[in-house]
A = this chain, B = another copy of it.
Amino acid sequence: MITFAPGPSELYFTVEDHMRQAFREGIPSISHRSKQFESFSKAATDGIRELLGVPAEYHIFFTASATEVWERATQNLTTEKTFHYVNGSFSKKFYEIAGQLGRKTEKFEVGHCEGFNEVIATEAELIALVANETSTGVTTSANFFKQVRDKNPNALLIVDGVSALPYQTLDYNAVDSVYFSVQKGFGLPAGLGVWMVNERCVERAKQLATKQVIGSYHSIPSFLSFEVKNQTPTTPNVLGIYLLSKVVEDFLRRGVSIIRNETEYKSAILYQALEAHRFIKPAVQKPEWRSKTTIVAQTDLHTQNLTKLLESQGLSPGDGYGPGKQTQLRFANFPAHSKEIFEKLVDAITAFQG
């Protein structure tokens, strides 16, 4: 059974071999203070930098999850006020966490499966945007991030890259922080987040540290003091970092442009099939808002029958999320999903007669 759930999602096809190799090399038992750890930890961050085109100015840290980044970013980058573009469950959760941490939170919220075309001016210290709303399959473009930044040059801009990366091209100079977790586009087991911050974030954290609590072991200054040795402040998911270093190496060998072209091909044939279908349609109306990496189908009364048909062919769709739980199906389009499997999926959907 191939799963199209957008995270935890289908593993990248090399992961099982890398896991076997990790056991052969004794990786699960090595110290996170050893040269061996430093070596693959550096390979992982260097590889991410090359793969995604992250400028040298950025620092790359490992967290337990993307959720942890919501908390750490609020603690390290803000004192009073955060602003959130909300267009689904995950952008909303960041908004809620900042509120739980005592920040005055503002949001600009749009309807289910809608995107943004209005840039808001705000006094907030941090503006949070999501590149790809995993819950609704709506994308926000690098160009929109740039407009937000131009209108709010003093705020820090943080972008959720979960389920967008490695596909989506970002202009890292037009944002201040990007984060993701590895169980989506990177096709790895859950339990590891990656947080990237530029020097503006570092300066903000150092300045805030003089007047407020910014956390402890996972504050930006704490991360920095271990980054110089390619280490982490505390025992991390060592195996997760090893696997990430290996999969990033695989992605680089394959070539990011090939991965991106294939992603576009796969999304094009699926959207085409949905557009042409009698009963099923793309859930996101506006073509420019349609995610290339999480394709949501409006299945309405056909949800159960289509699920049954697909599962009978070894294809497991992702459930709809939140308001779309009964009426939508989600299809992750990650590097782990081959062209062949997408063609099979498209054929199955096209043949579906209700």
The answer to whether A102 has its CB under 8 Å from any CB of chain B is yes
| Cβ contacts A56-67/B at 8 Å (1 or 0 each) | 000000001101
With A8-B238, A23-B19, A181-B235 already in contact, the answer to whether A28 and B189 are too (CB < 8 A) is yes
Which stretch of A153-161, A210-218, A258-266 is in the interface?
A210-218
The complex places the Cα of A3 from the Cα of B5 at a distance, in Å, of 39
The answer to whether A10 has its CB under 8 Å from any CB of chain B is yes
Q: Report yes or no: B11 in contact with A190, Cβ–Cβ below 8 A.
A: no
Which residues on B sit within 8 Å (CB–CB) of A312? Answer: none
Which stretch of A29-37, A41-49, A142-150 is in the interface?
A29-37
Chain A residues 50-92 with CB under 8 Å of chain B are: 64-65, 67-68, 70-71
Q: Which of A8, A30, A217 has the most CB of B within 10 A?
A: A8
The answer to whether A239 has its CB under 8 Å from any CB of chain B is yes
Q: Report yes or no: B1 in contact with A28, Cβ–Cβ below 8 A.
A: no
Which residues on B sit within 8 Å (CB–CB) of A219? Answer: 100
The answer to whether A324 has its CB under 8 Å from any CB of chain B is no
Q: Report yes or no: A217 in contact with B67, Cβ–Cβ below 8 A.
A: yes
Which residues on B sit within 8 Å (CB–CB) of A228? Answer: none
| Shortest beta-carbon distance from A200 to chain B in Å | 23
| Cβ contacts A191-220/B at 8 Å (1 or 0 each) | 110000000000000000000010111010
With A10-B29, A190-B235, A239-B190 already in contact, the answer to whether A71 and B23 are too (CB < 8 A) is no
The complex places the Cα of A238 from the Cα of B100 at a distance, in Å, of 25
Q: Report yes or no: A100 in contact with B181, Cβ–Cβ below 8 A.
A: no
| Shortest beta-carbon distance from A193 to chain B in Å | 9
How many copies of this chain are found per oligomer? Answer: 2
The complex places the Cα of A101 from the Cα of B209 at a distance, in Å, of 11
The answer to whether A115 has its CB under 8 Å from any CB of chain B is no
| Shortest beta-carbon distance from A169 to chain B in Å | 25
With A67-B235, A235-B190, A239-B190 already in contact, the answer to whether A28 and B11 are too (CB < 8 A) is yes
The answer to whether A16 has its CB under 8 Å from any CB of chain B is yes
| Shortest beta-carbon distance from A130 to chain B in Å | 16
| Cβ contacts A321-337/B at 8 Å (1 or 0 each) | 00000000000000000
With A216-B71, A234-B67 already in contact, the answer to whether A16 and B5 are too (CB < 8 A) is no
The answer to whether A15 has its CB under 8 Å from any CB of chain B is yes
The residue on B at minimum CB distance from A319 is B31
Q: Report yes or no: A216 in contact with B101, Cβ–Cβ below 8 A.
A: yes
6 pairs of A and B residues whose beta carbons are closest in the complex? A191-B237, A64-B64, A67-B234, A28-B189, A100-B216, A97-B216
Q: List 23 A-B contacts (CB under 8 A).
A: A8-B28, A8-B30, A8-B31, A8-B235, A8-B238, A15-B28, A16-B23, A64-B64, A64-B237, A65-B236, A67-B233, A70-B216, A71-B216, A100-B215, A101-B216, A102-B213, A183-B235, A189-B237, A189-B239, A190-B237, A190-B238, A237-B237, A237-B240
16 other A-B residue contacts (CB within 8 Å) besides A5-B29, A71-B215, A101-B213? A1-B26, A5-B31, A8-B31, A9-B29, A16-B23, A19-B23, A28-B190, A67-B233, A68-B234, A70-B217, A96-B216, A100-B219, A189-B238, A191-B191, A191-B192, A191-B236
